[in-house]
Amino acid sequence: MRVPDSGRRIRSHRINMTPMIDVVMLLIIFFLVSSHLARREVRYPVDLAAADTAAMIDPMDGSIPITIDAERRIRFVGEIVTLEQLATRVTMKQQRSSTADPIRLRIDRSVPFETVQPLLRQLSAVGVDSISIATQGK
């Protein structure tokens, strides 16, 4: 004898894959984009001095960053260089550009002037007549 159907529907335990794949793809895109941006914005971390009267940087001004870290290493666009190499690279960069790109000095607040002065001398020798000192806003 056949048991009569009680009318209850059997619940499906199969997972719908389509929305799950949607969400997984979105997560992948999110992590790819955020890691890409994190790489692009990497700057050598230095503890900059604070200043009240400093002006905001125009990100499109094409400035050339020169960093001196707490260990007194000079970095030109992220690469450790000597003073002589720095002079050559700044000259090349200035010649390549139609306008004189401003030089931005990102110097750790603990660095003494005896480390900075040779750099200023070298910049002055290759024709740089103005600089910007990078600070952190108060």
Tell me which residues touch another protein (CB under 8 A): 19, 22-23, 26-27, 29-30, 33-34, 37-38, 41, 43, 48-57, 59, 83-84, 102, 104, 106-114, 116-118, 120-125, 128-137
Please name every residue paired with 68 in a beta bridge, in sequence order, or none if there are none.
74, 107
10 Å Cβ neighbour count for 48?
Answer: 17
Least distance to another protein, CB of residue 85, Å: 12
For residues 50 and 53, give the distance between their C-alpha atoms in angstroms, rounded to a whole number: 9
Least distance to another protein, CB of residue 121, Å: 5
Q: What is Dmax (Cα atoms) for the chain?
A: 105
Compare residues 28 and 92 and give the one whose CB is closer to another protein.
28
Least distance to another protein, CB of residue 25, Å: 9
Compare residues 43 and 97 and give the one whose CB is closer to another protein.
43
For residues 99 and 65, give the distance between their C-alpha atoms in angstroms, rounded to a whole number: 16
Least distance to another protein, CB of residue 97, Å: 18
For residues 27 and 25, give the distance between their C-alpha atoms in angstroms, rounded to a whole number: 5
For residues 14 and 80, give the distance between their C-alpha atoms in angstroms, rounded to a whole number: 57
Please name every residue paired with 76 in a beta bridge, in sequence order, or none if there are none.
66, 79
Compare residues 80 and 126 and give the one whose CB is closer to another protein.
126
Compare residues 76 and 108 and give the one whose CB is closer to another protein.
108
